[in-house]
């Protein structure tokens, strides 16, 4: 069962699953690029963008449903599971993979990739909380999401000197660091 094109993506489980996952795809692509330096013919003609309106990446499918559908959520213990959202973790992974892909294949869809990275960086910066962290959805919340956000920003060429979000995140991480 496929709700949209899933060619060229990686799912959580095996190839028969069919439900693509953006951060799985980004991490798998990055591994492929690092380990085997795949030629363009093997990587594929197009990476389907899993971006939605804010420039971030959703997890499984392009977001298209209306927010009011969340009212129909039958699972009382899980909030915000009906409508697909953009996630900092998925977006950070996607930026890292796209930056590496761009280094290896600088002539391939340069404008589209640059635009995607720029929008994704803006999404990460916009999603930062007032304390300098990012809210995570997939792991140990704030530190986990901050790890992916900072990895994406760094891959895109951001530093403490040219990106206030990185400086703010550094302060957050130093403030919560334990003695051990």
Return d(Cα 17, Cα 127) in angstroms, integer: 31
| Catalytic annotation, pick one of 14, 16, 23, 131 | 23
Asked if 83 contacts 70 with a C-beta cutoff of 8 angstroms, the reply is yes
CB 46: neighbour CB atoms within 10 A? 12
Active site residue 131: no
Q: Write the DSSP string, 134-145.
A: ---SSSSHHHHH
Backbone angles phi, psi at 138, to 5 degrees: -115, -10
Written as six digits, the tokens of 168 are 């703010």
Tell me if residue 16 falls in helix, strand or coil: coil
Closest C-alpha to 100, from 142, 156, 60: 156
Q: Are 97 and 29 in contact (CB under 8 A)?
A: yes
How far is CA 12 from its chain centroid?
A: 15
Task: Please give the positions annotated as active site.
Answer: 23
């Amino acid at each position: 069962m496929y709700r949209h094109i899933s060619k060229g993506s990686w799912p959580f489980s095996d190839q028969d699953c069919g439900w693509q996952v953006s951060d799985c795809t980004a991490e798998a692509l990055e591994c492929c690029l690092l380990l085997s330096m795949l030629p363009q013919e093997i990587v594929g003609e197009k990476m389907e963008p899993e971006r939605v309106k804010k420039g971030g990446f959703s997890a499984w499918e392009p977001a298209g449903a209306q927010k009011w559908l969340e009212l129909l959520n039958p699972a009382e213990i899980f909030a915000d599971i009906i409508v697909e959202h953009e996630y900092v973790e998925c977006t950070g992974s996607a930026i890292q993979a796209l930056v590496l892909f761009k280094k290896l294949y600088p002539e391939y869809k340069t404008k589209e990739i640059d635009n995607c990275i720029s929008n994704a960086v803006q999404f990460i910066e916009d999603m930062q909380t007032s304390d300098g962290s990012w809210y995570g959805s997939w792991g140990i919340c704030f530190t986990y999401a901050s790890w992916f956000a900072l990895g994406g920003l760094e891959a895109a060429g951001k530093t403490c000197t040219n990106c206030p979000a990185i400086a703010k995140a550094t302060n957050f991480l130093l403030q919560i660091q334990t003695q051990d």
